[in-house]
Amino acid sequence: MRFLLLILPFLFFGKALGDDAIPASLTGAKGDPQRGRAIVANRQVGLCLLCHSGPFPEERFQGNLAPDLRSAARLTEGELRLRLVDPARANPQTIMPAYYRTEGLTRVAPSLRGKSILTAEQIEDVVAYLVTLK
Amino acid sequence: MLCMSLQAGEIPLGERRSGYEFMGRDTRAMQDDDSTNPALFWLMDGETLWKRKDGVAACSSCHETMKGVAARYPKVAGGRAVNLEQQINACRSERQKAAPLAYESRELLALTAYVARQSRGMPIEAGWNERTEAGRALFTRRQGQLNLACTQCHDDNWGKQLSGTTIPQAHPTGYPIYRLEWQDMGSLQRRLRNCMIGVRAEPYPYGSAELVDLELYLMWRARGMKLETPAVRP
């Protein structure tokens, strides 16, 4: 079931609509931008600020390995979702981790095997937050 | 396909920089002054252990100086790479007939630091062989839940900020080190395991062939750079 959930978006949208967007919500519901913001800002959960900077005046340390998250404004919701689910499909050499993938990884810590970095609900929350940056 | 190894963007020899150069002024000063470098206590213990008879002999019964030795380790013999800690333990069990010391024990860190200190300022000597090749394969392989290879941070993105931390080039020039975050001395393998845990990978066990191969590749990558043991790191 879990596996199906993970693979479904690829089967339906990846192939049918080209590789640059996942238009439909992974959960069928809209995410919560407040929760999304908290996930993005949290170094243990979202990890985003390890690499990115963004509009988080309360966070002193932000990364500069990646563009400021405000650059996400030019992307559609579906493009943002794809970049979280599996950014390698936008850029095969990317250093950005796939937040919703469990396959094709090497030597994952035993307690995390079979788990994606974020859940489908969390992905939707983050997407909902990122579209507010427009 | 997804776990392909990456083409290492090796750092040109002239652009290599020790982790020391990425540190703040206070941390550098702490390393530079032997009397404020916290590793001093391990060096003193190391000297005591060096001279103390354990089993049938003391290290000093057979050896005079260890000058230059650490600059040549890990050493490859019989198709296997052996690091300095393992060589010290081999002498303990085979020559001294004493029990080997546990990885990361105060005694093993102290002896290793004492031995490696004698190569401070000497250039790393490392050739290329099939164990180095194996180490490079590990360095360039994506791993862990975050799916990142060592090379992606340390070759491709050194000097940039990972959150509040500047990514260094990962040169093994100062080990064992006193790390402020650990408030303790630690080996190169401890540092490598930390980076593996950071990408949410299962770290290789202490003393495993994989970690020693990685050490060997790192020494080759840093060939010609000067040892600075015992270094201080943030």
Q: Which of residues 9-28 of A touch B (CB under 8 A)?
A: none
In A, minimum Cα distance to B199 occurs at A108
Of A4 and B17, the structure prediction assigns the larger pLDDT to B17
pLDDT at residue B178 greater than cutoff 60: yes
- Across A75-81, average pLDDT: 96
Q: Where are the domains of chain B?
A: 18-52+60-233
- Region B141-154 average pLDDT: 98
- Cβ <8 Å between B2 and A88: yes
Answer whether A81's CB lies under 8 Å from A26's CB. yes
**Section B172-198 average pLDDT:** 98
**Domain B18-52+60-233, CATH 3.20.20.70 — does that match?**
no
CB pair distance less than 8 Å for B197 and A107: no
Interchain contact, A106 vs B142, CB within 8 Å: yes
Q: Are strands B177-179 and B184-186 parallel, antiparallel or unpaired?
A: antiparallel
Predicted pLDDT at A134: 80
Q: Tell me the pLDDT band of B6, cut-offs 50, 70 and 90.
A: low
Helix/strand/coil for B221: helix
Is the whole model's pTM more than 0.90, yes or no? yes
Backbone angles phi, psi at B165, to 5 degrees: -110, 130
Mean pLDDT across chain B? 96
Interface probe with A: pick from B143, B152, B163, B167, most Cβ of A within 10 Å: B163
Residues 6+ away with beta carbon under 8 Å from B194:
none
pLDDT in tens, B191-221: 999 999 999 999 999 999 999 999 999 999 9
Q: Give the per-residue pLDDT at B7.
A: 52
**Tokens found for residue B106:** 């105060």
Q: What is the mean pLDDT of chain A?
A: 89
Residues with Cβ within 8 Å of B92's Cβ and at least 6 positions away in sequence, in order, are B54, B55, B98, B99, B100, B101
For A32-42, give one letter per residue: b (16+ CB within 10 A) or e. Answer: bbebbbebbbe
Residue B91 catalytic? no
Please, are residues B114 and B52 in contact by the beta-carbon 8 Å criterion? no
What is the pLDDT averaged over residues A2-26? 60
Q: Which value, in Å, is the radius of gyration of the alpha carbons in chain B?
A: 17
User: Is A37 a residue whose pLDDT tops 80?
Assistant: yes
Q: Check if the beta carbon of residue B233 is closer than 8 Å to that of residue B179.
A: yes
H or E segment at B108? helix B106-117
When scoring B148, B151, B200 by the number of chain A Cβ atoms within 10 A, the one with the most, hence best to mutate, is: B200
DSSP 3-state of B226? strand
Among residues of chain B, what percentage have pLDDT more than 90? 96
Integer Cα distance of B193 and B204 in angstroms: 7
pLDDT tens, B88-110? 999 999 999 999 999 999 999 99
When pLDDT is averaged across residues B11-40 and rounded to a whole number, the result is 97
**Which of B39-73 are b and which e, b meaning 16 or more Cβ less than 10 Å from the residue's Cβ?**
beebbebbbebbeeeeeeeebeeeeeebeebbbeb
Size of interface A-B (CB pairs under 8 A): 75
What domains are there in chain A, each with its CATH number? 30-130 (1.10.760.10)
Instruction: Please report the pLDDT score of residue B3 as a whole number.
Output: 40
Q: Is A119 exposed, middle or buried (0-12, 13-18, 19+ CB in 10 A)?
A: middle
How far away is chain B from the Cα of A43, in angstroms, using its nearest Cα?
9
pLDDT at A2: 47
Q: Is the pLDDT of residue B186 over 80?
A: yes
Q: Kindly tell me if the per-residue pLDDT of A50 is higher than 50.
A: yes
C-alpha A32/C-alpha B121 separation (Å) is 57
In this prediction, the answer to ipTM > 0.95 reads no
d(CA B63, CA B118): 13
DSSP chain A: -HHHHHHHHIIIIIHHT-TT---S-SSSS---HHHHHHHHH-TTTT-HHHH---S-TT------SS--GGGGGGS-HHHHHHHHH-GGGT-TT--SPPTT--SS-SSB-GGGTT--SS-HHHHHHHHHHHHTT-
